């Protein structure tokens, strides 16, 4: 972003701006010393004399790490190593594999401060938002640690012929999962999806975003400490368009989280190889504030919904739909809370919002706000970059008067910017919420919980939170989470989140007589017996 652009936005919206949070905690340099980087970087599969790439700490702009880059040939090596380790792992009883997840759960909670520092250093987010990642991963580790055996055990099914056919549905690991993850939730999105893959008996080759590779490498180290064979989780890092396709090229299944644009490309490559893929993609999520909502709770919820991780959260809210009768009262409360958020980058709890991750995110955010303002939108809160706090800080921003011609109306900003729209009827609100090709998450606020659930049922999104922003649905790890429409394919969490990493295999055993003419019956007699049999099975309500 040019300084000119930042200045232009700042001049349009003079004002006190959000307060700075008190500093505190260690510096990035102290929290991520060179020795730690060297130790973690040793976990990257990169042979020979790899090229090095530098990452920058978004909070301060200082140099963070120099990391080896994997080549497409390294990706091939990673798959070979993973494949070799996978068969012995798959042969272990499920409960032994699940034990690794449960030990990992305990280690993660015990050593959370180490990874909170890394997440903050690599993403620039506030510590509270980094902690959400620890929470999400611990919940997934506990859930699959405790339930994998039930999800994966052989299940007796009704056979072709009662008594004569014994049928069992079994689950086999896919093999080696190609797992590509983005930078915004580096702990949750690197290991959260890998855990069910491992417990189902697979190996994983993970390509995290280079910017946040240290967090993924730390998680790998901890999982190995919890008992995972080291070769089972390979980490390759490098330019997405260069090594991403190589990951898809060798995978038995692809688990991808990232933008809709890249997701389409990954899906096409996976389809060409006839391997499955789950795609967790972008969103333009809406929150509905109904006329009977508790406005203080809704305003507090909207702050969490819109500004967690500075809005760089796939399930965060970028469209606020508010009933006309309460719009002014809600907006007043929401704007006041937004203006009061303390921005800061200390590696300690205390800031309400941190920085954006990169100049790219700052540019998109600034462009969306600047263009909207030029075209007539009003800034209700925030609206400008805060270079006084760090190179990529942008204030939590509320826009009113946004119209469909503005990019911020329909495009994913992936920054701390939300637009407010008013509605008169529930139908109008539901239609507006559904008027996007995306379908990831939504949020409904009302005092009438039955009404909330009935509105939720009409929303075309993979998750809906009633009286919460996103954490209720995301944290309900026994239930599936993912996107409809252009927000993706497949689901993480729950049964779908683990079974996607398996192949179903049916083993049917026939006894006493074949399913063919036998015992002296000719074809016609056999057909008559079977016809009578089918009628009887239906009458007996056989399923
Ligand atoms: P991105 O698509 O640019 O990158 C995601 C990952 O794909 C990175 O590791 C990248 O290096 C890799 N990649 C890039 N080009 C590739 C290619 N041609 N083939 C294979 N891999 C390639 O996304 P991003 O900007 O890093 O992440 C932000 C996006 O992710 C947002 O749109 C956000 O909504 C989405 N997201 C979705 C979820 C979800 O659960 N639905 C979660 C987090 C983020």
pLDDT tens per residue, range 145-154: 999 999 999 9
- Number of helices (H) and strands (E), helices first, in the chain? 21, 18
Query: What distance in Å separates the CA atoms of residue 184 and residue 392, rounded to the nearest whole number?
Result: 14
Quickly state the pLDDT bin for 23 (edges 50, 70, 90).
Answer: confident
CA of 258 to the centre of ligand 1 (A): 2
**In terms of DSSP bridges, do strands 165-173 and 176-180 run parallel, antiparallel, or are they unpaired?**
unpaired
CB 196 within 8 A of CB 497: yes
Quickly state the pLDDT bin for 15 (edges 50, 70, 90).
Answer: low
CB 186 within 8 A of CB 158: no
CA of 257 to the centre of ligand 1 (A): 5
CA of 230 to the centre of ligand 1 (A): 26
Which residues have CB under 8 Å from 125's CB, separation 6+? 119, 309, 310, 312, 354, 355
| Cβ–ligand 1 contact at 236 (below 6 Å) | no
Q: Classify residue 82 by its DSSP letter.
A: H
Q: Which atom of ligand 1 is nearest to the CA of 412?
A: 32
Quickly state the pLDDT bin for 5 (edges 50, 70, 90).
Answer: very low
The token duo for 45 is 């599969």
| Cβ–ligand 1 contact at 412 (below 6 Å) | yes
Mean pLDDT confidence for 197-208: 98
| Cβ–ligand 1 contact at 269 (below 6 Å) | no
Q: Classify residue 481 by its DSSP letter.
A: B
Q: Which of residues 344 and 1 earns the better pLDDT score?
A: 344
CA of 306 to the centre of ligand 1 (A): 20
What is residue 422's predicted lDDT score, i.e. its pLDDT? 98
Mean pLDDT confidence for 428-436: 98
For ligand 1, mutation pick of 182, 238, 310, 362 (most atoms within 8 Å of CB): 182
Task: Inform me whether the pLDDT recorded for 11 exceeds 60.
Answer: no
Which residues have CB under 8 Å from 216's CB, separation 6+? 181, 186, 187, 190, 191, 206, 208, 235
The DSSP-derived string for 366-400 is HHHHHHHHHTT-EEEE--SB-TTT-TT-B--EEEE
Work out the percent of the chain whose per-residue pLDDT is above 70. 97
Residue whose C-alpha is closest to residue 177's, from 196, 141, 203: 203
| Cβ–ligand 1 contact at 183 (below 6 Å) | yes
Q: Which atom of ligand 1 is nearest to the CA of 481?
A: 40
CB 343 within 8 A of CB 351: yes
pLDDT tens per residue, range 40-99: 999 999 998 889 999 999 999 999 999 999 999 999 999 999 999 999 999 999 999 999
Reported in sequence order, the residue ranges of 219-360 that DSSP labels E, i.e. its strands, are: 233-235, 253-257, 276-280, 285-289, 317-323
Q: How far is CA 41 from CA 37, 67, 203, 318, in A?
A: 6, 6, 20, 36
Task: Inform me whether the pLDDT recorded for 16 exceeds 50.
Answer: yes
Residue having the nearest C-alpha atom to atom 22 of ligand 1: 240
Residues assigned a catalytic role? 280, 314
| Cβ–ligand 1 contact at 323 (below 6 Å) | no
| Cβ–ligand 1 contact at 265 (below 6 Å) | yes
Residue whose C-alpha is closest to residue 212's, from 128, 118, 282: 118
CB 135 within 8 A of CB 472: no
CA of 330 to the centre of ligand 1 (A): 34
Which residues have CB under 8 Å from 433's CB, separation 6+? 286, 288, 319, 321, 442, 459, 461
What is residue 48's predicted lDDT score, i.e. its pLDDT? 86
Residue having the nearest C-alpha atom to atom 23 of ligand 1: 258
Mean pLDDT of the chain: 95
Q: End-to-end alpha-carbon separation of the chain, Å?
A: 63
3-state secondary structure of 56: strand
Q: Which atom of ligand 1 is nearest to the CA of 247?
A: 20
Instruction: For residue 248, count other CB atoms closer than 10 A to its CB.
Output: 24
CA of 202 to the centre of ligand 1 (A): 23
| Cβ–ligand 1 contact at 259 (below 6 Å) | yes
Query: What distance in Å separates the CA atoms of residue 5 and residue 367, rounded to the nearest whole number?
Result: 8
Give the predicted TM-score (pTM) of the model. 0.95
| Cβ–ligand 1 contact at 314 (below 6 Å) | yes
pLDDT tens per residue, range 261-311: 999 999 999 999 999 999 999 999 999 999 999 999 999 999 999 999 999
């Amino acid at each position: 972003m040019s300084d000119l652009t930042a200045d232009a936005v700042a001049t349009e919206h003079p004002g006190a701006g959000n307060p700075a949070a008190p500093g505190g905690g260690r510096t990035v340099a102290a929290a991520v010393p060179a020795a730690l980087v060297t130790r973690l970087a040793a976990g990257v599969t990169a042979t020979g004399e790899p090229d090095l790439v530098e990452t920058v700490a978004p909070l301060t702009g200082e140099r963070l790490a120099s990391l080896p880059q994997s080549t497409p040939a390294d990706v091939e090596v990673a798959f070979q190593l993973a494949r070799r380790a996978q068969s012995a792992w798959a042969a272990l009883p499920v409960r032994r594999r699940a034990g690794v997840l449960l030990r990992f759960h305990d280690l993660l909670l015990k050593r959370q401060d180490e990874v909170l520092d890394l997440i903050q250093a690599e993403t620039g987010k506030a510590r509270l938002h980094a902690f959400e990642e620890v929470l999400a991963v611990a919940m997934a580790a506990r859930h699959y640690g405790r339930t994998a055996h039930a999800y994966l055990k052989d299940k007796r099914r009704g056979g072709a012929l009662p008594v004569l056919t014994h049928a069992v549905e079994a689950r086999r690991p896919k093999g080696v999962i190609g797992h590509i993850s983005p930078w915004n939730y580096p702990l949750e999105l690197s290991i959260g999806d890998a855990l069910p893959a491992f417990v189902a008996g697979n190996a994983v080759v993970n390509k995290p975003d280079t910017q946040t590779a240290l967090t993924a490498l730390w998680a790998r180290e901890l999982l190995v400490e919890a008992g995972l064979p080291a070769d089972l989780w390979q980490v390759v890092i490098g330019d997405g368009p260069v090594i991403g396709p190589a990951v898809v090229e060798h995978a038995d299944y692809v688990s991808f989280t990232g933008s809709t644009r890249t997701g389409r490309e990954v899906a096409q490559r996976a389809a060409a190889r006839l391997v499955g893929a789950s795609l967790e993609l972008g969103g333009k999520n809406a929150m509905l504030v109904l006329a009977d909502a508790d406005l203080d709770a809704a305003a507090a919820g909207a702050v969490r919904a819109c500004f967690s991780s500075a809005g760089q959260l796939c399930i965060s809210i970028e469209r606020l739909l508010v009933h006309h009768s309460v719009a002014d009262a809600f907006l007043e409360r929401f704007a006041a809370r937004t203006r009061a958020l303390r921005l800061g980058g200390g590696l300690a709890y205390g800031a309400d919002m941190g920085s954006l991750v990169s100049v790219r995110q700052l540019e998109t955010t600034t462009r969306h706000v600047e263009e909207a303002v030029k075209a007539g939108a009003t800034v209700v809160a925030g609206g400008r970059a805060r270079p006084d706090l760090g190179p990529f800080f942008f204030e939590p921003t509320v826009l009113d008067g946004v119209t469909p011609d503005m990019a911020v109306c329909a495009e994913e900003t992936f920054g701390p910017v939300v637009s407010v729209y008013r509605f008169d009827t529930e139908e109008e609100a539901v239609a507006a919420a559904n008027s996007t090709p995306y379908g990831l998450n939504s949020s409904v606020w009302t005092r009438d919980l039955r009404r909330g659930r009935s509105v939720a049922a009409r929303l075309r999104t993979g998750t809906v939170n009633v009286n919460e922003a996103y954490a209720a649905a995301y944290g309900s790890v026994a239930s599936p989470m993912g996107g409809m429409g252009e927000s993706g394919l497949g689901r993480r969490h729950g049964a779908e989140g683990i079974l996607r990493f398996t192949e179903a295999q049916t083993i049917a055993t026939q006894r006493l007589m074949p399913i063919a003419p036998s015992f002296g019956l000719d074809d016609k007699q056999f057909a008559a017996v079977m016809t009578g049999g089918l009628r009887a099975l239906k009458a007996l309500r056989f399923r």
